[in-house]
């Protein structure tokens, strides 16, 4: 599989998303974060994943605007927070995110969570915004098959992306969802791809990493890429940010991919959307 740091996936909007991005959940807004993000861009990252609820949109926007790289070369995702869901409030929240970021457009705006009763109205607001030009692609996050079926039935645009918790420790548990997304042309984006660090010392994984002369984190990221997922590992440490990008000079053999596919423990390290009706 030929993959490199510039590899992208075509979304159903016609725009491309870089396969590997930097997640900035729990990266505290401010000068340190701004420098970290600008250093990440220098290292080769071209994709950043934030959200209103992370409280760092302003910092992300400053880094994007001041890094010296043309705006159109950087892909920025942000998300609609739960307290803003509903039609009118989603429109206002999008405009507020755009203002916080200080950008002319957002590459990808996601409904952060399939909030009961209002998620379809929120989605319809995103469809309206999508027609407006300040938003290149729209998608969802934490949507399970039932939630996606409901959207498809009640609206007209298929989400470009579904961002969900995905790593080898829950892959079997999420396989039906992955296949469903692929069947409707929705790209799967893996969040918490490093299990928030919870399985980086798993001996099976450590041994695989030794075999390839890589770190456990690099094996998990490379696994995601070879599964055709978009992947957004987070680090607030520049050495680890750079380490996480060094995944394009090796590939995991298919027998090892099969083994890693079965590390499953139904592990959920974040919130569990399967509980939302
Ligand atoms: N849509 C959603 O509901 C949702 C939910 C969760 C996450 N996300 C997105 O997905 C991104 C990633 O998920 P996540 O932040 O939850 O978890 P993650 O990327 O799986 O793990 C992050 C943790 O791993 C550590 N780490 C990073 N690189 C490492 C390396 N090379 N070696 C050892 N440890 C390493 C980080 O510590 P240091 O920072 O100290 O390096 C941090 O503690 C988030 O930042 C966010 O953008 C979305």
Our answer on whether the CB atom of 141 is closer than 6 Å to any ligand 1 atom is yes
CA of 213 relative to ligand 1 center, distance in Å:
22
The predicted pLDDT at position 1 comes to 57
CA of 235 relative to ligand 1 center, distance in Å:
6
Side-chain-side CA neighbours of 39 within 13 Å: the count stands at: 15
Place of tokens 């390839």: 212
- pTM for this prediction: 0.98
Q: Which CATH superfamily is domain 8-266 in?
A: NADP-dependent oxidoreductase domain (3.20.20.100)
Catalytic residue among 54, 169, 191, 263: 54
Place of tokens 């290149």: 136
Q: Determine contact, residues 217/243, Cβ cutoff 8 Å.
A: yes
State the helix-helix crossing angle for 203-212 and 216-226, rounded to 10 degrees: 80
Our answer on whether the CB atom of 132 is closer than 6 Å to any ligand 1 atom is no
Our answer on whether the CB atom of 236 is closer than 6 Å to any ligand 1 atom is yes
Our answer on whether the CB atom of 162 is closer than 6 Å to any ligand 1 atom is no
**Beta pairing class for 106-111 and 161-165:** unpaired
Give the pLDDT of the chain (277 residues) as one tens digit per residue.
588 888 999 999 999 999 999 999 999 999 999 999 999 999 999 999 999 999 999 999 999 999 999 999 999 999 999 999 999 999 999 999 999 999 999 999 999 999 999 999 999 999 999 999 899 999 999 999 999 999 999 999 999 999 999 999 999 999 999 999 999 999 999 999 999 999 999 999 999 999 999 999 999 999 999 999 999 999 999 999 999 999 999 999 999 999 999 999 999 999 999 888 8
């Amino acid at each position: 599989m030929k993959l490199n740091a510039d590899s992208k996936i075509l979304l159903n909007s016609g725009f491309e998303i870089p396969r590997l991005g930097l997640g900035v959940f729990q990266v505290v807004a401010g000068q340190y974060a701004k420098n970290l993000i600008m250093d990440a861009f220098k290292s080769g990252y071209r994709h950043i994943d934030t959200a209103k609820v992370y409280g760092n949109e302003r910092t992300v926007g400053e880094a994007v605007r001041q890094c010296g790289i043309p705006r159109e070369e950087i892909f920025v995702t942000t998300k609609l927070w739960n307290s803003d869901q509903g039609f009118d409030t989603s429109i206002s929240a999008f405009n507020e995110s755009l203002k916080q970021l200080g950008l002319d457009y957002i590459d990808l705006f996601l409904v952060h969570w399939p909030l009961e009763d209002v998620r379809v109205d929120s989605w319809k607001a995103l469809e309206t915004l999508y027609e407006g030009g300040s938003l290149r692609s729209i998608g969802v996050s934490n949507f399970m098959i039932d939630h996606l079926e409901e959207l498809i039935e009640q609206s007209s645009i298929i989400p470009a992306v579904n961002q969900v918790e995905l790593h080898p420790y829950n892959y079997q548990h999420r396989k039906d969802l992955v296949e469903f997304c692929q069947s409707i042309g929705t790209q799967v984006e893996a969040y918490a791809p490093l299990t928030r660090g919870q399985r980086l010392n798993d001996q099976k994984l450590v041994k695989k990493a030794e075999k390839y002369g890589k770190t456990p984190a690099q094996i998990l990221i490379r696994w995601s890429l070879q599964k055709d997922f978009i992947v957004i590992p987070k680090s607030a440490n520049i050495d680890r940010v750079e380490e996480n990008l060094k995944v394009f000079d090796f590939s995991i053999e298919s027998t090892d991919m099969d083994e890693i596919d079965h590390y499953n423990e139904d592990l959920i390290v974040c919130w569990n959307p399967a509980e939302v009706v």
